[in-house]
Amino acid sequence: MTERTLIKDLAASSDGPVSVSGWVETVRDQKKVQFVVLRDESGAVQLVAPRVSGDDGEIVATDVSDTITSLSQGSFLTATGELKHDERVKLGGVEIKLDALDVASLAIAETPIKDDSGIDKRMDWRFLDLRVPRNALIFKIQTTFLHALRSYWVEHDYIEIQTPKLMASASESKAELFRVEYFDGSAFLAQSPQFFKQMAQPAGFGKIFEVGPAFRADPSFTSRHATEFTSVDAEISWIDSHEDVMKMHEEILVAGFQAVKDKHGDAIKELFDVEVTVPTLPFPRIPLAEAKKIVASRGYEIPRADDDMDPEGERQIAAYAREELGSEFVFLTDYASTIRPFYHMRREGDPSITNSYDLIFNGTEISTGAQREHRVDVLTEQIKEKGLDPEELDGYLDFFRYGVPAHGGFGMGLSRVLMLLLGLPNLREATYLFRGPTRLEP
């Protein structure tokens, strides 16, 4: 049996016997010749089968011709034949003259989704939706992006951890927790790996990262929220302030964007009409109070009374950063302690401000990071100030009772980064299988 060749490698292969496997994209069943466009995970190629005529000039049915006639869009098969290079062939400059077809699986002729199907219908049939090259490219980009981040971390001696997603108590907000049955009691799905990545600091790991699922019982139906998402997290010891976290954060993003541009830049331009821009260092840093003044000067007053930035404010400050500072990224810093979690360290000399930041990319927040409070007495008081019971967090506080270095980190939503990088309309496009308040399938 001829070894399978990926379609993307055909152009560099010599003319001669070849075998390819994939699914049928189109069939043109003509009188004198039959054509099949076959696609695999790497590209598409044209298969050609000239009709055979008998002595009387009539077309003679053959196994290949009969098989082609029976094919439906989406059928999976293996094709063997003679590879021919021909610059007149628009699809890659090569074609395969068929000798045989081996059908692995015929598809139902009528597909349930079309090019103009809505997003909900497409999500119902996601496995078919992902056959579209544009949609499949998103996850090739994701793979390249994550590999670049991991490479940075590994080269800088970070340790990768996998934290549990079943928890006995809340990690941050009880309001956003999913409660699940757990033997004779109950457990909670982790909102983030926050407590456990902090635990790695008194364990002496120094620098850690994790890429894993997180769960939020948030009934939002916006274009940027999900109830289950992939969180990209890192935590580092021996920092002086959140500035050390921001420096690492921007460096990994530059590494990720550079890798994506190098490997997929041309395809992204072709399929998404987006020019990938590798950000320059450092990213702009704007204190939140100053950012609000800038937004106001652009004609938008933030209506929120909780000292936070709202979505339109994020879009406005991002537009300012792009127009005036030449950056698609901007760090917003100096968030009020009233709107930050109890574990964010407060500014020395001004406890109303935290050593924390949000990272805005193309108009949307993709990450929150901070220096953590590592002094157990201060941490206990901040827990009380937030209306929480220190006894309920006693296991967490144990992390800080036996020695811990100054540390900080961030959590970043992977799908949000991809959505904003590619200019997609919502998070669902950039999520392999989306989960929201009304979606648990497929």
Kindly state whether residues 139 and 68 are assigned to the same domain.
no
Residue 221 belongs to a domain? yes
User: Does 10 carry a binding-site annotation?
Assistant: no
Q: What is the C-alpha to C-alpha distance for residues 300 and 319, in angstroms, rounded to an integer? A: 12
Q: How many independent structural domains does the chain possess? A: 2
Kindly state whether residues 139 and 99 are assigned to the same domain.
no
User: Does 235 carry a binding-site annotation?
Assistant: no
Domain that holds residue 14: 7-105
Tokens 């933030």 -> residue? 302
User: Does 80 carry a binding-site annotation?
Assistant: no
User: Does 105 carry a binding-site annotation?
Assistant: no
User: Does 327 carry a binding-site annotation?
Assistant: no
Quick check: 354 and 340 in contact, CB under 8 A?
Answer: yes
List the CATH number of the domain containing 54. Answer: 2.40.50.140
pLDDT at site 305: 65
Q: What is the C-alpha to C-alpha distance for residues 51 and 31, in angstroms, rounded to an integer? A: 7
Per residue in 379-421, pLDDT (tens digit) is: 999 999 999 999 999 999 999 999 999 999 999 999 999 999 9
User: 262 CB contacts (<8 Å, ≥6 apart)?
Assistant: none
User: Does 172 carry a binding-site annotation?
Assistant: yes
DSSP-assigned letters across all residues of 7-36: GGGSTTSPSEEEEEEEEEEEEEE-SSEEEE
Report the amino acid identity of residue 62: T
Per residue in 209-239, pLDDT (tens digit) is: 999 999 999 898 888 899 999 999 999 999 9
Query: Given a cut of 80, is residue 439 above it in pLDDT?
Result: yes
pLDDT at site 115: 86
Nearest-Å Rg of the Cα atoms of the chain is 27
Q: What is the C-alpha to C-alpha distance for residues 343 and 322, in angstroms, rounded to an integer? A: 32
Environment class of residue 139 by beta-carbon count within 10 Å: exposed (0-12), middle (13-18) or buried (19+)?
Answer: middle
List the CATH number of the domain containing 391. Answer: 3.30.930.10
User: Does 301 carry a binding-site annotation?
Assistant: no
Q: What is the C-alpha to C-alpha distance for residues 400 and 379, in angstroms, rounded to an integer? A: 9
Kindly state whether residues 140 and 56 are assigned to the same domain.
no
Kindly state whether residues 226 and 87 are assigned to the same domain.
no
Indicate the pTM of the whole model: 0.94
3-state helix, strand, coil in the chain (%, to 5): 35, 30, 40
Please identify, among 105, 135, 165, the residue that sits at the C-terminal boundary of a domain. 105
User: Does 414 carry a binding-site annotation?
Assistant: yes
Quick check: 81 and 99 in contact, CB under 8 A?
Answer: yes
Quick check: 80 and 18 in contact, CB under 8 A?
Answer: yes
Kindly state whether residues 214 and 305 are assigned to the same domain.
yes
